[in-house]
Amino acid sequence: MTRRVVISGRGAISCLGNDVAAIGEALRAGRSGIRHMPEWEALSFGCHVSGQPDPWEHSLGEFGVKKREVTPLSGAGRMGLVAALQAIAEAGLEPDQLKALRSSCVVGCGVSDPPSMHDAYEKIQAGRVRRVSPLTIVRCMSNAVSAAVTSVIPVSGLNLTLGSACATGAHAIGMAFDLIRHGAADIAICGGAEWADVGLSGTFDAMRGVLAAGFNDRPEQASRPFDVDRSGFVLSSGSGMLILEARDEALERGVEPHGEILGWGFSSDGHHITQPDPEGRGAAACMTAAMHDAGVSKVDYINAHGTSTQPGDAAELRAIRKVFGDDVPPISSTKSLGGHAVAAAGALEAIHCTEMLGRGFLAPNVNLARLDDEFTGMPVIGDLQDVVPEIVMSNSFGFGGTNATLILRR
């Protein structure tokens, strides 16, 4: 017997806003959060634009988190904690209530605190190992974000960190969904966080052709998924956290869910360490598996992975066409507005989907002037659509050929 699973709380920090309501308003307005980065230009990066949130750390104090609790945390950990606290509040819970429940935490990150690692490396190389912060390990360890979240919001069950590049956030949601529907937990914190500081950004910039470099003088136009002139993705920082809960328990608490997870799918391309299978075979298998798991034969909208790279966007559209044939639903990529938050992307975009489901709109794929000739006629929407979707799909495909697709219902 399996149980229905709903989203009872959401929290988010991104360049589109520092809470879910602000992000939803930006999506509906088609308002980009991508800005010029003078430091990157001064350092001779090829890409001079990024999506960085407005100041948000004051929120920790507003939630009552003590300074001694914050000090050991990584940058991504602090960001993830704020989003988790927002989600707990929206779910109508207090942080200390989860430990008394059958609760779990499944979250992930890419690189949790690049500055701490860089600072430690420089001191060690200079023979000053005694000057290295004793907090370096806890800020840089692979489970730094889940440790940060559960140090303030303790859970009683599985406390797991995932790392699957750009698919991390979606994988975390899918695994938390499985825990609850199969009875291993009643409630779970899930999502991802990414802190794209100048160091991490520089390593991406070194991968020629990965980051957008063609619109440095027009930051808001730099992220242009599916457009023929796309030149790479725009890196962003952010965190998205969701509270998933068994539907019956949530309704018993009087919670008004923000959507339901119907199912999910996963696959591996087994093709290349950075590039997807050009025909989108892994992506198609992932979407097909998700629809089978959800028990649906069609969806009303696809929130595409759509990062704005030449090979990735083309492979995804080929995969969508393979899965849906002549009945392709409307498609857009919210990365056109908020950039690519890597490990946080899948969770942020699931939250974007809940805003579309709840507010009754489809977010525009901005900066779309012309599709590749191969995809002429495919329904990638460049403008806001005032429709009320019932069932939506959200794709996340990562380096290493790791894929995840979520199916959500209003």
pLDDT of residue 316: 98
pLDDT tens for the chain, residues 1 to 410? 699 999 999 999 999 999 999 999 999 999 999 999 999 999 999 999 999 999 999 999 999 999 999 999 999 999 999 999 999 999 999 999 999 999 999 999 998 898 999 999 999 999 999 999 999 999 999 999 999 999 999 999 999 999 999 999 999 999 999 999 999 999 999 999 999 999 999 999 999 889 999 899 999 999 999 999 999 999 999 999 999 999 999 999 999 999 999 999 999 998 999 899 999 999 999 999 999 999 999 999 999 999 999 999 999 999 999 999 999 999 999 999 999 999 999 999 999 999 999 999 999 999 999 999 999 999 999 999 999 999 999 999 999 999 999 999 99
Distance CA 355, CA 361 (A): 8
Minimal CA–CA distance to 310: which of 374, 404, 365? 374
Locus of tokens 């692979």: 142
pLDDT of residue 225: 98
pLDDT of residue 208: 85
pLDDT of residue 405: 98
3-state secondary structure 21-64: HHHHHHHHHCCCCCEECHHHHHCCCCCCEEECCCCCCHHHHHCC
pLDDT of residue 121: 95
To the question of pTM greater than 0.85 for the whole model, the response is yes
Q: Which of 166, 190, 286, 353 is catalytic?
A: 166
Instruction: Write down all domains in the chain, each with its CATH number in brackets.
Output: 7-252 (3.40.47.10), 261-409 (3.40.47.10)
Q: Which of 48, 171, 258, 305 is catalytic?
A: 305
pLDDT of residue 338: 98
Q: 166 catalytic, yes or no?
A: yes
Asked if 186 and 142 count as a contact pair (C-beta separation under 8 A), the reply is no
